Amino acid sequence: MGTTEITPEEMRAIEMNSAHIGVPPAIMMENAGRAVADLVEREAKNKKWETIHIYAGIGNNGGDGFVAARHLANRGYRVHVFLAGSPRDLVTPEAKQNWKPLSISSSIKKTFIRDSSQVIPEIFEADVLIDALLGTGVRPPLREPYRSLVEGINHADAPLVVAVDVPTGLSTHPGDPIEEPIVKAHITITFHLPKTNMSKAVNHVGKLVVADIGVPPEAHTQTGPGDVYLACPNRPRDSHKGQNGRILVVGGCLEYSGAPAMAALAAIKSGADIAVVAAPKPVAGIIASYSPNLIVRGFDGDYLSPACLDKIVPLIRSSDVVLIGPGIGLASETREFVSRTVEASDRVVIDADALKLVQGARFPKNTVLTPHRKELEQLTGKKSENHQQACDVAMGYARSNNVTILLKGPTDFIVSPTGETKTNTTGTPAMTTGGTGDILAGVVSALMVRNTPFRAACAAAYITGRAGEAAQNQSGEYITAFDVLRFIPRVIREERLFLARGER
């Protein structure tokens, strides 16, 4: 089991991105169920096994079992489906859709099990038992009738037990214990990639078969709703002020006051609880006037300089993420200030003019840089003739400097220090208006509170682009950065619910 294991949330995100691309869950369920049927047929045909019992739950794992039942019955096997519940209990559209042909089939026997007293002796009569009860969403302990069904499957001593996606009872959530009862399968056929904890439960997983269910490669290499789902989880019910992120935006100068305000507001709109702006005193009052949601700290001078550091370092230490650059300017005294601020930070986003001043700085482990192509050339000293060359330059710089780069353009390119890459195609030419880059940097900083730099950058690029599209749809091409800003919370909400709202 050397292949990378993924969590249930990561698999959900892959499914969401697949649906966004055009491969909906219904197609993947059909492919999964057919793969189960094909595996069972390969195992059974030379052994003259004819009786197949499928124990199905009321979710998508059960739906996979329904598809397998249909295919196996069509191939002449005696199929009996035991549903843990009733058809009206089915919880997903795909499971309901695939129950329909079973409900009218005269060749497939159906039994409904509503409580543990209905676990029947027929469980001992099957040549093949297929466990399609519960999938990756299960958390211990098992409730009834699932607990009794799992115990029954394990006591049945069938010649072949096949688990669909994951043996029922095995939690695939990181950190969860391996807690009995768990189906002891001879073969587990999992879909797309192995799941977390499978390598720790080989006695239950048995032989692991990984089946292709049609997930397009782009579900991994392009941003989509799944990236938002992963990066923007629901807040804990007992969360308190500050727990969801304190962002420090360091920027502004005598000429530029709007950029740091825009970035800080974007951070709040993206989930941060508190955004503090550190800016020169001549513009601090102007920045504060943009919104009562901002906390602004003013420092002596028309530009931020090393003389400010003693007072800014405590702000850095009390913040989860530092965003430096929006409106900071290119004054000579600011260069040393930028480098020392970056080096004093644990998690930092570097944007705008700071990208031109940060050469030679020692980047912390969790760093995101957000250049466009020209800024990348200034940062690296390497010219690029086209987008692909720029991507290659970004990849090399990310590796050698242990940073994540979000290269902005008509197609955004995101690369991690290890070479993991994604592209983002959301957005619109209307977003060439000033301030949208500050918004993107603010979204990245908010999402970095609870995510890796790469995951935060991917989701932020997608969210900001979708917000720009929404602003254009409402107002036409002539929009402002504030128009984009307004749509960020709505985009996050809608993209997290992508499958739930019916785009399956």
CATH code for position 263: 3.40.1190.20
CATH code of the domain covering residue 110: 3.40.50.10260
Strand pairing partners for 29? none
Whether residue 248 sits in one domain with residue 129 = no
| Domain-located, residue 357 | yes
**Count of structural domains, the chain:** 2
Boundary of a domain, candidates 221, 243, 276: 221
pLDDT reported for residue 242:
83
If you write DSSP's letter for every residue of 155-210 in order, what string do you get? HH--SEEEEESS-TT---STT----S-----SEEEEESS-BTTGGG-HHHH-EEEE
Residues 64, 69: Cα–Cα separation, whole Å: 9
Whether residue 263 sits in one domain with residue 205? no
Q: How many C-beta neighbours within 10 Å does residue 51 have?
A: 16
The verdict on 202 and 272 lying in the same domain is no
Inside any domain, residue 501: no
Nearest to 185 by CA among 165, 171, 200: 165
The domain boundary residue, chosen from 201, 221, 241? 221
pLDDT of residue 239: 85
The dihedrals phi and psi of 449, each to the nearest 5 degrees, come to -60, -40
Report if residue 503 sits inside a domain. no
Joined tokens for residue 362: 């020692």
**Per-residue model confidence as pLDDT tens for the chain (504 residues):** 346 899 999 999 999 999 999 999 999 999 999 999 999 999 998 898 999 999 999 999 999 999 999 999 999 999 999 999 999 999 999 999 999 999 999 999 999 998 877 767 788 889 999 999 999 988 889 999 999 999 999 999 999 999 999 999 999 999 999 999 999 999 999 999 999 999 999 999 999 999 999 999 999 999 999 999 999 998 888 888 888 999 999 999 999 999 999 999 999 999 999 999 999 999 999 999 999 999 999 999 999 999 999 999 999 999 999 999 999 999 999 999 999 999 999 999 999 999 999 988 999 999 999 999 999 999 999 999 999 999 999 999 999 999 999 999 999 999 999 999 999 999 999 999 999 999 999 999 999 999 999 999 999 999 999 999 999 999 999 999 999 999 999 999 999 987 654 332
3-class DSSP assignment, residue 11: helix
- Quick check: 168 and 138 in contact, CB under 8 A? yes
pLDDT of residue 481: 97
In-domain check, residue 502 = no
DSSP annotation of 79: E
Identify which of 334, 368, 345, 425 has the alpha carbon closest to the alpha carbon of residue 17: 425
Contact indicator for 427, 465 with CB cutoff of 8 Å: yes
Inside any domain, residue 400: yes
> Is the domain of 145 the same as that of 236?
no
Q: How far apart are CA 409 and CA 364, in angstroms?
A: 25
State whether 333 and 465 are in the same domain. yes
Domain assignment present for 373: yes
- Statement to judge: residues 392 and 348 lie in one domain: yes
CB atoms within 10 A of CB 244: 17
- Does residue 122 share a domain with residue 230? no
Is 432 strand, coil or helix? helix
In a domain, residue 2? The reply is no
Do residues 294 and 435 both lie within one domain? yes
Whether residues 278 and 391 share a domain: the answer is: yes
Residues 182 and 316 in one domain: no
With tokens 């009569």, the residue in question is 125
Select from 170, 197, 221 the last residue of a domain: 221
- Residue 499 is predicted with a pLDDT of 65
Residue 476, domain extent? 225-496
Residues 243 and 259 occupy one common structural domain: yes
Number of Cβ within 10 Å of residue 357's Cβ equals 26
Single-letter amino acid code for the residue at 107 = S
For residue 393, the model assigns a pLDDT of 98
Tallying the residues shown for the chain, one arrives at 504
295 found inside a domain:
yes
Give the whole-angstrom CA distance, residue 354 versus residue 335: 8
CA angle 301, 307, 309 (to 5 degrees): 115
Put residue 165 in one of left, alpha, beta given phi > 0 → left and psi -120 to 50 → alpha.
left
Helices and strands per DSSP (H, E), number in the chain: 18, 16
- Asked if residue 198 and residue 287 are part of one domain, the reply reads no
Which pair of structure tokens corresponds to residue 456?
A: 């935060």
- Rounded to 10°, the helix 332-344/309-317 angle is 30
Please give the pLDDT value at position 294.
97
